[in-house]
A and B are shown apart, each in its own frame.
Chain A
Amino acid sequence: EAQVTQNPRYLITVTGKKLTVTCSQNMNHEYMSWYRQDPGLGLRQIYYSMNVEVTDKGDVPEGYKVSRKEKRNFPLILESPSPNQTSLYFCASSPRTFGEQFFGPGTRLTVL
């Protein structure tokens, strides 16, 4: 089944404890992206990647890192999480830059 998977789905952590949210797609898509969703703010793009080893900042990149070493994986790294990063995170992939984006199920992160 074609899909985007994210792990973990739910995570509660404490300030400053490094964490990684994984994202994997099995559709051989070139384009991948991370968003955060906050009430009243919609979805805001954190980082995106147009291909392996090609990443760029979105609207709200501060406090986040990404890497794209393989086509299928696009992990989101929070090196020192803070409470303002408590949010619902979505990973998405697309066969091309402006094609349909396929979204993962989301990761709900709480930083205490």
Chain B
Amino acid sequence: AQSVTQPDIHITVSEGASLELRCNYSYGATPYLFWYVQSPGQGLQLLLKYFSGDTLVQGIKGFEAEFKRSQSSFNLRKPSVHWSDAAEYFCAVGANTGTASKLTFGTGTRLQVTL
């Protein structure tokens, strides 16, 4: 069974600083990987996804993520954080067994941005 680990429960960065949120996954085959963002009181919005091909994926709002198979990681990055980026971020891995569909989420990282 697949699993996702987000080791950082809470991160605080200053506005304008760079950001990296960690995500490690466990899955036997090639994974489908996602990052979602949840603003307070809101649903989830997709930031970016990796299915195959280029391991550096660009997303919305200036975010990017890099798939590293050797490290089983899919870390999310942003070069300069804005105050509006304060939210909770979820990494997820999708499993394709041919007969079943499953999306497993990590426990989330809450980002606080200080001015």
Contacts and interface: CB of A to CB of B under 8 A. Distances in A.
Interface of A: 31, 33, 35, 40-45, 48, 50, 56, 58-59, 90, 92, 97-98, 100-101, 103-106
Contacts of B96: 97-98
B101 to A, nearest CB: 4
Interface string B33-72: 0101000001111100101000000000000000000000
B52 to A, nearest CB: 11
Main secondary structure of the interface of B (DSSP, over half): strand
B104 interface: yes
A46 B101 CA distance: 12
Given A43-B90, A103-B43, A98 B105 contact: no
B103 interface: yes
Contacts of B34: 100-101
Contact of B94 (A50, A92, A98): A98
Contacts of B36: 103
Contacts of A90: 43-44
Nearest to B43: A103
Given A35-B105, A48-B101, A92-B44, 8 more contacts: A33-B103, A42-B108, A43-B44, A43-B105, A56-B101, A58-B102, A98-B94, A100-B34
Interface of B: 6, 9, 32, 34, 36, 42-46, 49, 51, 90, 92, 94, 96, 100-108
A105 B49 contact: no
Nearest to A105: B43
A98 B43 contact: no
Nearest to B95: A98
Contacts of B104: 45, 59
A103 B100 contact: no
B49 A45 contact: no
* Of B6, B43, B104, most A-chain CB atoms within 10 Å: B43
Contact of B100 (A43, A56, A92, A105): A56
Nearest to B9: A40
